[in-house]
Structure 1
Amino acid sequence: MCIFLIADIKITNDEWVPTYAENAHKIVHKHGGRYLSRSGNITTVEGEDLCTSLIAIIEFPSMQHFENFFNDPEYATYAKARQAGSKSRFHIIDNSDIAGTIEYLPAS
């Protein structure tokens, strides 16, 4: 079952961004992932605005593929820089339907 990483990032120091942006996607691809979006064009339409600077949505073929990416020693340097220069929230969701009423999604 494929999974999606939703990375919600509030940049606090942007020094890390150019190097991260240039290199992280290569490591994502190395582990079978693909970006569906990486955008700073964010509009909060309901709820508290978290002042997010960037949201990336990345699809991985499985949780194992994501874990291989996230734990890749090559990614560690970029992850540390991101963590030092941002407040990041990473969420993982699968492609299931919790209500089980959407026929093209597996029931969760």
Structure 2
Amino acid sequence: MSFYSVLAVTPTTDAWVADYFGPANKLVAKHGGKYLARTASHEQIEGADEPAALRIVIEWPSREAAVAFMNDPDYVPHLEARTHGSKSFHFLIEGKDDLA
């Protein structure tokens, strides 16, 4: 079953950005992930204002693949840099309909 990472990221410093995307892209692919959206072109149409510079959606083949990516020793320093250099929220969502 597919899982989806849904992120809202607003950099608070640009220090990490240049060194982040190349390695992150390769590691997402290594773990079977596929970017569905990485964009600053988004609008909030419902709910309390929750601004973010970027919205990112990644499709994973399984929960295990997503967790393996997050725990990959090659990704951990980039995750730490992003975490310290941004306001980030990451949700892992199972691709199913509990309300069907």
Q: TM-score, normalised by structure 2?
A: 0.94
In 2, Cα distance between equivalents of 1:68 and 1:93: 15
Q: Which stretch has the larger CA shift, 76-85 or 44-53? A: 44-53
In 1, Cα distance between equivalents of 2:65 and 2:85: 26
Per-residue Cα deviation, 1:12-66 (whole angstroms, up to 9, x for no partner): 1122112212220110000011100111112111122222011110011000111
In 1, Cα distance between equivalents of 2:48 and 2:18: 28
Matching residue of 1:10: 10
- By how many angstroms is 1:10 displaced? 1.7
Matching residue of 2:46: 46
Q: Secondary structure at the match of 1:6?
A: strand
Q: Which runs of 5+ in 2 are unaligned?
A: none
Structure 1 consecutive aligned stretches of length 4 or more whose deviation exceeds 6 Å? none
Q: Which amino acid aligns with 1:13?
A: T
Matching residue of 1:93: 93
Matching residue of 2:33: 33
The question of whether the paired residues in 2 share the 8 Å contact of 1:5 and 1:90 is answered with: yes
Q: Secondary structure at the match of 1:8?
A: strand
Q: Which runs of 5+ in 1 are unaligned?
A: 101-108
Instruction: Please identify the structure whose Cα radius of gyration is greater.
Output: 1
Q: How many residue pairs are counted as aligned between the two chains?
A: 100
